[in-house]
Structure 1
Amino acid sequence: MNVSLKWLGTLVDIKGLKPEDMAEVLTCDGIPVEHVIHPAPGIKGVVTGKILKVEKHPDAAHLLVCQLDVGQDEPVQIITSADNVKAGQIVPAALPGAHLPAKHDHNAPGGIKVGDVKIKKGKLRGLPSAGMMCSASEMLLDYNLYPGTEPEGIMILPANTPVGVDFHHVFDLDDVIFEMELTPNRADCFSMVGMALETGAIFNRKVTLPKVKVKEEGPSINGRASIHIAEPEYCSRFCSRLLENVKIGRSPEWIESRLRSNNIRPINNIVDAANYVMLEMGQPMHTYDYDKIAGHSLTLRHAKDGEVLVTLDGEKRTLTSADLVIADEKGAVGLAGVMGGLNSEITESTTSVLLESAVFDSASIRRTSRRLGLRSEASGRYEKGINAKRSAEALNRICQILEEQGACTVAADMLDEYPNPKPEQVIHTSFDAINDYIGIHLPDEQITDILTRLHFKVENNNREIAVTVPEFRLDVEGRHDLAEEVARVYGYANIPITTPWSAIAEGEMSQEQEASILIEDTLINSGLSQVLNYSFMHKDDLKRLNYPETHKVFNAIPIMNPISEEYPDLRTTLMPGLIHTLKYNLAQKNSEVSIFEIGRVYYPKALPLTELPVEDNRVSALLSGTVSEEGYPNDHRPYDFFDIKGIVENVLAKLGITDYDIQRSVCPVFHPGVSADFVKDGKVLVSFGELHPAVLDNFDIKQKVYGFSMSLSELNDYISGEVAFQPIPKFPASARDLAILVPEELSDADVEAIITKRGGKHLESLTLFDLYQGKQVPEGYKSMAYSLAFRAPDRTLTDSDVDTWIKKIVDDLEKNGCKLRE
């Protein structure tokens, strides 16, 4: 919104206040002024002149020689090529020494070259010319805002314009405009009256608002028109008045100038009056040709799906049942709060006008405005909120303005539907509470004075106060708002700077947070890329991931308002998001994919939800393709089981987790023969391996994929920040290989347990390096080969020492059905 200081000065005493100082104070007090604008700053020395005589140039058919009265002792001669000048017209004349902000140049964009132009005396085809007559374009004025003005021809001023005065005085170009950047909560300041009340309160100046009085010389509107609110929840008030004997014409110059200050194009006196009152009082209104309204009845209702309305801009709009319309007995005649209909437009032949002043639902107007791409001054105000108690006064104000112009007769009475008037809002607080909230100690009288200046009514009962909120302050809702009102008018700069007391504790991360960061760094250093997927999923993906429907991952929390049908539930595993990301990359011909995600999954304690769900922080990853990029000297080797195993072991090592067991994995996502779990104390720390072939088929993935999944909450109990150092051995190790035939029912873990038990404390390491089943191995057996290393910290072991331990190991293995290979 723009605020004209000339207009503002008619409503509140601002004499002696400098515009820049006013803007700074208003901004500091929560009424931000974005720019201070001086209209037409590049125009200097241009005066109004009356054309006395027009003759053709004797030596140039396209030039006219004009004699002008510019308020000097003698007329001045100006030669022009414009063909729209006539004797008796009043025009802007730039005399020698004047400056203009632009000039005509056919080579410049739009035919206008912007830049300072100094006017000098000159000669055209031998005749002197004392300056030039100006077009709107040469003064960088928007000709659309000046009725009757052409973009190229000389600007013709109103016939009653004084002669010889500075051009700035003609259209209030000597005004100062504040371009406001108001916050949406201050809907009351989106009007000149609201700005006057606010300015008066902040600067403690007298406010003089226009007194609204209507003569009502016509017969009553009752029985000749009717209004109806079909859906009261979408319209809190609907008022209407009837104007008769209407005379369509130009508005007075002072109204047009004030409209121009807000970049609103003057149209005619009826429409201009409605726009003027909207700017003055903040109440959007609409005018209808009374004779074009079927049944002379207006109803606020929702549009029918597919209902069509041609709006004032000539566009055909197809409406939905979410759009509010004003309708007569035949159909929609206006898009409520946004734009009127062409079928009820005011034209030069209009003789009777039905006025509408209403308060519509903000959210509904916003939705319709955005859906149709129609933004207007009216819709912007409705979106921020309208004071319903001023609707009738605004309607009377437009009637008063048109009556004073002699443009109409106002019918007696007003139609007014106001189903649920809001009661006065009273806030109970105390002077001490206000001071405590601000952090200062203002006298009770000063607080009362500030609130009274802001038009609050204060009742004091032993320093406990009851404050009645004025009806136009829609943003004030509680005692804290009152304290903020006092603080901003008192002046934020006047509030002493103090350090608030606070018990400050040093922030620190939990062990789980630190582990999450360490895992992230470790996986990135291992060549994986971190991804971030939606926290939602579809249960169909769980089926495709091979999970049985009895698995706990199917116990998912449904979302009441999902972002799409593809994501109706909160996720219970990270795998669906990761595999979709993998599939998308493969579809884009990126066959080398190594990704991981750290994120939360959600398990309900019960469904439907009665308390917050359990949130489990998990880490999952997928690898597919080759370990390194193609090209020399890289080894173009595909990922295998040991790559994913090594990555997982590296993560656990970084977390200080050791002494875990490895078991065959039962996770249904992974291939049962190429997967494993790391287990400690009966808890599965991590599951990893090759994805099940059925899973790959379900997602139409044609290459092998490896992955892992772990829960940070399961790891948390075993994370150790301690680093164990071991001295470098002084004595050599003694290595032996052991090849044995093992019954098929015995696992590697069983064999290693026997070897470890019998190997004693000097068994330093044990590694399985070969596993074979084939023709050379008896049926029911498998061949397993282990590498054993023995070492003593205090001496070099002898062969006899090692032989003794090997014999014990072999004896115990044979007791369990194993045989030494020959």
Structure 2
Amino acid sequence: MNVSLKWLGTLVDIKGMNPDDMAETLTVDGIPVEHVIRPGEGIKGVITGKILSVEKHPDADHLLICQLDVGEEEPVQIVTSASNVKAGQIVPCALSGAHVPAAHDNKAPGGLRHGDIKIKAGKLRGVKSAGMMCSLGELGMDANLFPALNHEGILILPEDTPVGVDIHSLYDLDDVVYEMELTANRADCFSMIGMALETGAIFRKKVTLPSISVKEEGAPIEGRASVHISEPAYCKRFCGRLLENVKIGRSPEWIEDRLRSNGIRPINNVVDAANYVMLEIGQPLHTYDYDKVAGHSLTCRHAHEGEKIVTLDGQERQLNPSDLVIADGDDKAACVAGVMGGFDSEVTAETKNVLLESAVFDSASIRRTSRRLGLRSEASGRYEKGINPARSEMAINRICQLLEEQGAATTAKGMLDEYPVKAEPQIIKTTVKRINDYIGINMPKEQMIEILEALYFKVEEQDGNLTVTVPEFRLDLSGMPDLAEEVARVYGYKNIPITTPWSAIAKGAMSKDQDVIFRITDSLVADGLSEVVNYSFMDKKDLEKLNFPWGHKVYNAIPIMNPISEEYPDMRTTLLPGLMHTLTYNLSQKNEEAAIFESGHVYQPKELPLTELPYEYELFSGLLYGSPDEAGYPNNGRKYDFFDIKAIMENVLKALGIRDYEIRRSTYPVFHPGISADFVKDGKTLMSFGQLHPAVLDKWGIKKEVYGFVIFVPHLMNMVDETIDYSRIPKFPASQRDLSLLVPAHCTNDEVEEIIRKAGGKHLETLRLFDLYQGEQVKEGCKSMAYNLTFRAEDRTLTDKEVDQWIEKIVKALGKAGITLRA
């Protein structure tokens, strides 16, 4: 939302106020001004001039010598290479000493060199030139916003433009425009009237709103047009009016200037008037060619299955049954409600009669449709934030008034109005003391009432008790705290005394839980993973895409009463949905290497609906995709595999001092059942990891292998060993042996290692599996497993004979289990 101070000044008395100081005060009082824009900044000393004569340069075929009247006693001479100049034209002239924000330069992007360009008098091929005539681009004006002006060559101004005036007086270049950064709850401020009311309240200035009246010269609209609402839950109000004897043409310059201040391109007087009213009042309008609307009837309904519409941009769009449309008398969609009109009923230069629509649609429905279709506009943005139904009538009457005043149309008598459920005024009951205590001040009741009434609240007071009626345009207020905030921001946050709240001061120290979280984080970062932060929300539909079967505990999620978006309706019960969205976004941006993790709370309700706080606990999850090495020489570009993710998990357990855990096949549904594992201790699963299930990858549209993990932090907490494991460096050398074994396929590594350790005795220091093979060279039903064994004694050097005896004992023990040495 942009706010033109020239326009604002017609609604509220801000004469003499400093724009920068105003912006600071508005921002502090909760109406943030992001930027203060001066459209004519960079233009100095540019005036209008009339071309008296044009002659060819005697020494250059591509140059012209022009004599211009710039309002001075004598004409000035300017030499130009532009071919579009003729005697009698009015043009902008930058004489010596003037400044412009751009200059033509064929070497610069777009042919313009931007910066502070100072104009100097000089000579071109021996002929004096007092300056230059300016093009639209040289003045820094957006050509898209000036369709009526020529875009090539010197800017030709309208014939009635006065001579010798500063260019700032044209097209509101002397205006100041606020670029607002309004929060979604202040939907009332997404209009000039809303900003005027807010500015008047904050600065205690008089507000003068436009007086709206319609002449209604035509025959009654009843019987000649109709509007209907088929589903009142999705359309609160639907107003309609009929304009007749319409004359399509340009809008007055002041309307075009005000549209341009918001970056809206003028089109024609009817469309411009609709856009103007939307900016002024905040109510989007839509215009239909009355003679093209079947049955002259409009109905708000949901789209039919498979229904299509050709929108104003000429594209055919497939509609969804959740989309709201405005249908004509033949039940054909004539408009995507609140988003974009239909091509078949658009207003054109041949239009003679216009059917107006002023409606209030469901915010969530408009947001969904707008996002799905990829159509975002000023209108849809306002519908998403909420529209006040009370202003629908005001807006439709205002556009009629504007077009009547231009002599561009007459208005039929009467207004069609479907208003199924009228909004009741909101009343808040509180006390002066409660508001003062909430803010932390001691404001007299008279001052508090004055502030509330300045903000257009109706206040009744009796013995300190307040009955406050909220104005119809303030849709964001609901109780005493909101009321107190209104009082505080107008009173001035800087005027509220700073007090230190009481608290029990305790010595700062890291808890055990925090220490565990930091250790896990440090270990993952050391292994090359990057931490990400996602919303604490999810959509249960994503759980199905992650292969979780229905009935799994992760589906037991807490629904959010006021979700930030329809994409996040539930509190998360797992971190994986957010990580998958982060991964797919990175892949869509051509980031082929991703190693990410997240730590955060998940929320498991004890029962639904909630009767007590849910079980809230910490999890770690991560995803690895692509290669662990950076691309390029000397790295070979190998991809992540199961052993990478296994090593990362082992490093986490090592950082926590957790030992003597088991490794088992994982049954976690997200992972591939044959390429995944769990680390288990004392019957508790500490972590699950492995390759993502192929079905998961298919549902998320990922074509390559992805590895992931889940660390169950609550199961780790009581197993963390902070003891420093110290042993002296061995004094005597070790003796190593390798065993290549033929093992029955059903035997696991754990079972083989247990046999070896028991038979190996106390001098077996380490045991490591270094090779596993199944294939043509191995007997059917068996696998080849190779182990490295290290023996060492603390008091002597072991002899080969001793080690050979232990190896023989190990081989015999293995033989009893059907495990033999591989020949």
Please give the TM-score of this superposition, normalised by the length of structure 2.
0.69
* Aligned residue in 1 for 2:102: 102
Shift of residue 66 of structure 1? 3.4
| Partners of 2:686 and 2:716 within 8 A in 1 | no
* d(CA) in 1 for partners of 2:368, 2:356: 25
Matches within 5 A, 1:239-278: 239-278=239-278
* Aligned residue in 2 for 1:404: 405
* d(CA) in 2 for partners of 1:182, 1:509: 39
* Aligned residue in 1 for 2:738: none
| Partners of 1:105 and 1:112 within 8 A in 2 | yes
* Aligned residue in 2 for 1:223: 223
Q: Which moved more, 1:51-60 or 1:316-325?
A: 51-60
Judged with a 3 Å threshold, the aligned counterparts in structure 2 of structure 1 residues 307 and 506 are, in CA distance, closer, same or farther, namely farther
Secondary structure at 2:219 match in 1: coil
Judged with a 3 Å threshold, the aligned counterparts in structure 2 of structure 1 residues 722 and 412 are, in CA distance, closer, same or farther, namely same
* Aligned residue in 1 for 2:420: 419
| Partners of 2:286 and 2:356 within 8 A in 1 | yes
* d(CA) in 2 for partners of 1:14, 1:323: 43
Secondary structure at 1:354 match in 2: strand
Letter in 2 for 1:493: K
| Partners of 2:558 and 2:608 within 8 A in 1 | no
Q: Which moved more, 1:316-325 or 1:166-175?
A: 316-325
* Aligned residue in 1 for 2:129: 129
Shift of residue 78 of structure 1? 3.1
* d(CA) in 1 for partners of 2:575, 2:257: 65
Secondary structure at 1:411 match in 2: strand
| Partners of 1:78 and 1:132 within 8 A in 2 | yes
In the alignment, structure 1 residue 385 sits paired with structure 2 residue 396: no
* d(CA) in 2 for partners of 1:572, 1:27: 37
Judged with a 3 Å threshold, the aligned counterparts in structure 2 of structure 1 residues 52 and 31 are, in CA distance, closer, same or farther, namely same
* d(CA) in 2 for partners of 1:221, 1:121: 64
Judged with a 3 Å threshold, the aligned counterparts in structure 2 of structure 1 residues 604 and 239 are, in CA distance, closer, same or farther, namely closer
Judged with a 3 Å threshold, the aligned counterparts in structure 2 of structure 1 residues 710 and 385 are, in CA distance, closer, same or farther, namely closer
* d(CA) in 2 for partners of 1:88, 1:620: 74
| Partners of 1:686 and 1:709 within 8 A in 2 | no
Shift of residue 334 of structure 1? 1.6
Deviations 1:496-544 (A, max 9, x none): 111012345556666666667778989999x99999999998999999x
| Partners of 1:555 and 1:604 within 8 A in 2 | no
In the alignment, structure 1 residue 316 sits paired with structure 2 residue 320: no
Shift of residue 221 of structure 1? 1.0
Letter in 2 for 1:150: N
Judged with a 3 Å threshold, the aligned counterparts in structure 2 of structure 1 residues 435 and 343 are, in CA distance, closer, same or farther, namely same
* Aligned residue in 1 for 2:147: 147
* Aligned residue in 1 for 2:327: 327
* d(CA) in 2 for partners of 1:687, 1:108: 61
Secondary structure at 1:35 match in 2: strand
Letter in 2 for 1:121: A
Judged with a 3 Å threshold, the aligned counterparts in structure 2 of structure 1 residues 654 and 83 are, in CA distance, closer, same or farther, namely closer
Judged with a 3 Å threshold, the aligned counterparts in structure 2 of structure 1 residues 556 and 686 are, in CA distance, closer, same or farther, namely closer
Judged with a 3 Å threshold, the aligned counterparts in structure 2 of structure 1 residues 187 and 60 are, in CA distance, closer, same or farther, namely same
Judged with a 3 Å threshold, the aligned counterparts in structure 2 of structure 1 residues 716 and 104 are, in CA distance, closer, same or farther, namely closer
Letter in 2 for 1:30: G
| Partners of 2:664 and 2:680 within 8 A in 1 | no
Q: Which moved more, 1:111-120 or 1:354-363?
A: 111-120
Letter in 1 for 2:501: P
| Partners of 1:13 and 1:207 within 8 A in 2 | yes
Shift of residue 270 of structure 1? 1.0
* Aligned residue in 2 for 1:29: 29
* d(CA) in 2 for partners of 1:352, 1:676: 73
Matches within 5 A, 1:30-179: 30-57=30-57, 60-124=60-124, 127-179=127-179
* d(CA) in 2 for partners of 1:177, 1:724: 68
* Aligned residue in 2 for 1:819: none
* Aligned residue in 1 for 2:501: 500
Letter in 2 for 1:497: I
Deviations 1:459-514 (A, max 9, x none): 00111001111111111111101100111011111111110123455566666666
Letter in 1 for 2:485: E
* d(CA) in 1 for partners of 2:24, 2:118: 34
Shift of residue 596 of structure 1? 13
Judged with a 3 Å threshold, the aligned counterparts in structure 2 of structure 1 residues 677 and 137 are, in CA distance, closer, same or farther, namely closer
**What runs of 5+ residues in structure 2 fail to find an aligned partner?**
560-565, 581-592, 623-641, 668-676, 694-708, 728-760, 766-790, 794-823
* Aligned residue in 1 for 2:377: 376
Shift of residue 432 of structure 1? 0.6
Secondary structure at 2:114 match in 1: strand
Judged with a 3 Å threshold, the aligned counterparts in structure 2 of structure 1 residues 368 and 57 are, in CA distance, closer, same or farther, namely same
* Aligned residue in 1 for 2:214: 214
| Partners of 1:512 and 1:712 within 8 A in 2 | no
Deviations 1:394-438 (A, max 9, x none): 111111111111111111111111111110001111111111111
Deviations 1:574-604 (A, max 9, x none): xxx9xxxxxxxxxxxx9xxxx9999999999
* d(CA) in 2 for partners of 1:236, 1:63: 64
In the alignment, structure 1 residue 6 sits paired with structure 2 residue 6: yes
* Aligned residue in 1 for 2:20: 20
| Partners of 1:518 and 1:654 within 8 A in 2 | no
Judged with a 3 Å threshold, the aligned counterparts in structure 2 of structure 1 residues 483 and 685 are, in CA distance, closer, same or farther, namely closer
* Aligned residue in 2 for 1:463: 464
| Partners of 2:23 and 2:36 within 8 A in 1 | yes
Q: Which moved more, 1:529-538 or 1:512-521?
A: 529-538
Secondary structure at 1:480 match in 2: helix
In the alignment, structure 1 residue 486 sits paired with structure 2 residue 487: yes
| Partners of 1:685 and 1:710 within 8 A in 2 | no
Deviations 1:158-201 (A, max 9, x none): 23222211010011111111111111111111111111111111
| Partners of 1:556 and 1:572 within 8 A in 2 | no
Judged with a 3 Å threshold, the aligned counterparts in structure 2 of structure 1 residues 616 and 215 are, in CA distance, closer, same or farther, namely closer
* Aligned residue in 2 for 1:303: 303
* Aligned residue in 2 for 1:198: 198
Q: Which moved more, 1:172-181 or 1:534-543?
A: 534-543
Letter in 1 for 2:106: H
Judged with a 3 Å threshold, the aligned counterparts in structure 2 of structure 1 residues 605 and 352 are, in CA distance, closer, same or farther, namely closer
Shift of residue 387 of structure 1? 1.0
Q: Which moved more, 1:326-335 or 1:26-35?
A: 326-335
| Partners of 2:656 and 2:720 within 8 A in 1 | no
Please give the TM-score of this superposition, normalised by the length of structure 1.
0.69
Deviations 1:28-55 (A, max 9, x none): 1111111111112221111112233445
Judged with a 3 Å threshold, the aligned counterparts in structure 2 of structure 1 residues 389 and 653 are, in CA distance, closer, same or farther, namely closer
* d(CA) in 1 for partners of 2:280, 2:518: 59
* d(CA) in 2 for partners of 1:676, 1:259: 63
Shift of residue 97 of structure 1? 2.4
Deviations 1:695-741 (A, max 9, x none): 9xxxxxxxxxxxx9999878878989899999xxxxxxxxxxxxxxx
* d(CA) in 1 for partners of 2:273, 2:418: 23
Shift of residue 202 of structure 1? 0.6
* d(CA) in 1 for partners of 2:233, 2:200: 35
Judged with a 3 Å threshold, the aligned counterparts in structure 2 of structure 1 residues 7 and 518 are, in CA distance, closer, same or farther, namely closer
| Partners of 2:431 and 2:464 within 8 A in 1 | yes
**What runs of 5+ residues in structure 1 fail to find an aligned partner?**
544-552, 578-589, 622-638, 670-674, 696-707, 727-764, 770-786, 790-822
| Partners of 1:667 and 1:687 within 8 A in 2 | no
Judged with a 3 Å threshold, the aligned counterparts in structure 2 of structure 1 residues 124 and 324 are, in CA distance, closer, same or farther, namely same
